[in-house]
Amino acid sequence: MARALLIVDVQNDFTEGGALAVAGGAGIARRISAFLGRHADEYDLIVASRDWHHGDDDNGGHFAGAAEPDFETTWPVHCVAGTPGAEYHPDLDTDPVDVHVFKGQGTPDYSAFQGRTDDDVLLQDVLGEHHVTSVDVVGIATDHCVRASALDALAAGYAVEVLDDLVVGVDTERSARALDEVRTAGGHIGTSDMDEGLANPGGAVL
């Protein structure tokens, strides 16, 4: 009966100044780090995911290429493996992270459950090895990769909680719908204790 924390895509390209910047992304990095400072030892496993795209192809149509991106299924170039944009935001404390998974390597992945470790182990197999039964989800972006990761976790049979003050979305209304989807699928939307003495960075979906 182990519990895991899943930190989704807190990367430079998804924060202010990045190729696909989400307003409030840097603040979420700081909030997650503060949360880890208080609660890391309460988790049996902490996993962080990253987009880790190829730089020499369209990643299965994920990159728009010469066409204009529609920002739904096609996107500007972002999070290319080995570039600064693909690195974790510097305000995210990665010291407590036990496992790192990489997704979107030539494919249009959104869910962290499509991610693999450096040893080519799928996230679900990592969780299985550690006997995880429940997953808390935080990170970027609520209406895209957080949504997909939470729904895949539920589909795989995990108890899931999204901490709504530790996620941030691109679009407020779409993010609210994403959280409703998680609820409908059997997940829980909760709130951390990070507003106790820590200012809201703004932009988070509350």
Cα–Cα distance for residue pair 140/106, rounded to 1 Å:
20
> How many Cα neighbours within 13 Å face the side chain of 103?
22
79 assigned to active site? no
Please identify which of the residues 51, 103, 136, 164 carries the catalytic annotation: 103
Report pLDDT digits (tens) over 22-79: 999 999 999 999 999 999 999 999 999 999 988 777 768 777 777 887 678 777 778 9
Q: What pLDDT was estimated at residue 205?
A: 34
The arithmetic mean of pLDDT across residues 86-90, rounded, is: 98
Catalytic position from the list 13, 145, 164, 165: 145
Mean pLDDT score of the chain, rounded to an integer? 91
Grouping H, G, I as helix, E, B as strand and the rest as coil, residue 42 is: helix
Closest CA to 5 of 158, 203, 183: 158
pLDDT tens digit sequence for 160-200: 999 999 999 999 999 999 999 999 999 999 999 988 654 44
- DSSP E strand stretches across the chain: 2-8, 45-51, 99-103, 132-140, 159-168, 188-190
Question: Is 103 marked active-site?
Answer: yes
- Its pTM surpasses 0.85: yes
